[in-house]
A and B are shown apart, each in its own frame.
Chain A
């Protein structure tokens, strides 16, 4: 019997990989997850370490969030050979597969902006790891006056609202400490407007003005000097700061692929946006942040894509809708969501308290959702249906 089972190898035990593994039926599949380290991280919480000093744990053992029948191998994957259908581990051991799913997420590349490594060491960031997020918290606590710059470096990054969430939470931090008059906050972005999608920007830009936050658009960060406290753009602008938090460029994780041309120039895996099939292969898929697809790098995206791939592996004709649903914290216990799909532009979804509570509730249930997709799927589905872009765009524009 066991011989009839399809061997599925999933590389990466993050938000996407784990939920996919737990969704596949054990009588049909022999499922193995590989991860180079033992923990599943709830990365969104880096924001609350950085800007609120939260001590809530942000990681759990991958093993503890997997169904008992899923095999877990703690090892890096060095090579994915799509032609000969194997994954090579650090030890040189090869795992053959019937299906492979790449769920390796993204990594950050400081080398793309000269000076960024030093800036990060000094001021931290909230897009890489806990240590750097704690550095941001220290940076805020040390500042009594001057300019705090939050800069979105050109390139891909995780979670579209996250740069501005940091800006809004920093503003709240300094106001609550009574330092707001002495600390100038400036946000710099390479996009034409503070929030890239226009409808959402119609909510966000007035809010920045209302809170006295400065911003610079079309600012393509070129290099940054922490000693002089100046960030230079490719457009020739100089931005002076006392502290700078930079959202670093994200790239793929550096696994070797055969053939190599499945990767784009940033090391992300190219795929079909409806099925997540890796370009040119019908037995290989990429989900979540690891893909080069023009969709938001969010856990929700990874989660929904995992659902589609799970169905395809079981022989169904499932397709992605491109749905995003990103909670967006704007400080003071208020929030909105970035909601769109392939067929509908971003909704101008009103800012309120409930949305913020949803974000917090979501965080509280995260690992439970990974482990019990069968219990949470109906909740998720009804929520997604109620907030479907085609349905609510007439309400909010």
Chain B
């Protein structure tokens, strides 16, 4: 199977309250293809449980989830798009 090159999509959802960040993720997901990386920057604390639940539910891959001093960063690899 061919492995696609994979684009990186950076989503800036800082300053957006819940559920804004997850809306932004879905927006990026809609335009993404398998192999793409979505990197999300968010400040809303609700984003962390939401993105974990989203990953669990959709079966995509959470490459990294870290808390910087001023933001939460989630790096997602799109693998489960039908």
A residues near B (Cβ < 8 Å) are 154-156, 190-192, 196-198, 217-218, 220, 222, 232, 234-236, 265, 294, 340, 342, 345
Bound-state CA distance A217–B53 (Å) is 10
A172 nearest CB across to chain B (Å): 26
Residues of A within 8 A of B80 (CB): 235-236
Bound-state CA distance A236–B19 (Å) is 23
Which residue of the partner chain, among B15, B17, B30, B54, contacts A218 with CB atoms under 8 Å?
Answer: B54
Bound-state CA distance A195–B57 (Å) is 17
A197→B19 contact, CB < 8 A: yes
Bound-state CA distance A218–B22 (Å) is 10
A190→B26 contact, CB < 8 A: yes
Residues of B within 8 A of A222 (CB): 82
A220-B19 contact in complex given A235-B59, A236-B80, C-beta closer than 8 Å:
no
B20 at the interface (CB under 8 A from A): yes
A218-B58 contact in complex given A154-B26, A192-B50, A198-B46, C-beta closer than 8 Å:
yes
B63 at the interface (CB under 8 A from A): no
Q: How many B residues touch A, CB cutoff 8 Å?
A: 22
Interface residues of B in 3-37 (CB under 8 A from A): 15-20, 22-23, 26-27, 29-30
B43 nearest CB across to chain A (Å): 12
Task: Return the 6 tightest CB-CB contacts between A and B, nearest first.
Answer: A196-B19, A236-B82, A218-B57, A294-B16, A294-B20, A154-B26
A150 nearest CB across to chain B (Å): 18
Q: Mark B33-51, 1 if CB is under 8 A from A, else 0.
A: 0000000000000100010
B residues near A (Cβ < 8 Å) are 15-20, 22-23, 26-27, 29-30, 46, 50, 53-54, 57-59, 80-82
Q: Which residue of A lies closest to B15 (CB)?
A: A294
A155-B27 contact in complex given A222-B82, A235-B59, A236-B82, C-beta closer than 8 Å:
yes
B82→A345 contact, CB < 8 A: no
Bound-state CA distance A312–B32 (Å) is 41
Bound-state CA distance A190–B29 (Å) is 11
Bound-state CA distance A294–B57 (Å) is 25
Which residue of the partner chain, among B17, B26, B53, B59, contacts A345 with CB atoms under 8 Å?
Answer: B17
A234→B16 contact, CB < 8 A: no
Bound-state CA distance A222–B16 (Å) is 25
Bound-state CA distance A198–B19 (Å) is 9
A234→B57 contact, CB < 8 A: no
Interface centre among B17, B18, B26, B29, by most chain A C-beta atoms within 10 angstroms, is: B17
